Structure 1
């Protein structure tokens, strides 16, 4: 089953309209509609919130849809990459700025 169907079925089981679900998630009703029609996919953070609202496991929401599984994996990889860049970046930038400050004081 695709994530779009899973979201729609869980929303209906909880007797929520798209508007009510959107308010609980602090997003637009159009976003819910796009998820349910398969035009877009929720982010990993939104999936976690959906699992809390629907009172179901993340596995229930993710494992049924291969596209959603892949998207979640890529988001996790992207976040890890950004954290690494941030850590390495500051490790280089701060010494560079001190060196630059020293060089500029020589002139």
Structure 2
């Protein structure tokens, strides 16, 4: 008799349904079904829980038939090894997933960088290298050139990319979105012609800074309210999205209203 068959026999002897056993152990009913059919085995911790629920011992659950060679101790060790291997495999999958999302976020920044090169240069560059890597603010759009010249572009990229390595992908995607939206809105909405003659002709830096900082806060909140997968029907997600959109709009309005219209 296999371990699964013994679990099934003990469950029925105790007059318990699979749902009740699952509730007592703290797993799903499907997990109990897999144990009983031999598709998987309970962890050593759950094995002891089952023995307690059935009012028996682990030795009885693992009792060997005469023709079987493994002793209960050997079977416990075997289950322990299986459990450890399963944990190692889960860690490997998690690391691969984290690396994948890290690369996705990094590629997102590369795309923003290239789009900035395409639409944010003056056309005065004479070489491909100069066009691709030059950071002279005079030859780039105001905000894009400022971010590159001050190395803020790369600092912001690190703020977004590094957390993804540790599984904080929702934070990383939120700050990437904040960076891109801040750059776009800052370039388009930061101009202040009235202050151009006095060196205050563009407030794109303030708009971008406000939106990116806001996205950091919203990214932290997103990580708190979201589990491993996004539930698109979640009320919390829709409220978060509305707050994010309204927050960005509010930052733009506040900074635009704060711009001086005359200098004297």
**Fold shared per TM-score above 0.5:** yes
Structure 2 distance, partners of 1:2, 1:63, is: 9
Structure 1: which 5+ runs fail to align?
A: 80-107
Greater RCO (CA < 8 Å, at least 6 residues apart): 1
How many pairs does the alignment contain?
Answer: 78
Structure 1 distance, partners of 2:58, 2:75, is: 14
Structure 2 distance, partners of 1:25, 1:4, is: 15
TM-score, normalising length from structure 1?
0.63
| Structure 2 residue 48 is matched with structure 1 residue 48 | yes
Structure 1 distance, partners of 2:60, 2:10, is: 10
Alignment of structure 1 residues 28-107 onto 2, 5 Å: 28-64=28-64, 66=70, 70=74, 72-74=76-78, 75=80
Structure 1 residue 57, shift from structure 2 partner = 1.3
Structure 2 distance, partners of 1:29, 1:50, is: 14
Structure 2 distance, partners of 1:71, 1:39, is: 16
Q: Bigger radius of gyration, 1 or 2?
A: 2
Structure 1 residue 13, shift from structure 2 partner = 0.8
Structure 2: which 5+ runs fail to align?
A: 85-264
Runs of 4 or more, structure 1, over 2 Å off, are: 63-66, 68-72
TM-score, normalising length from structure 2?
0.27
Structure 1 distance, partners of 2:73, 2:42, is: 11
Report the CA distance shift for 1:7/1:46 in structure 2 as closer, same or farther (over 3 A): same
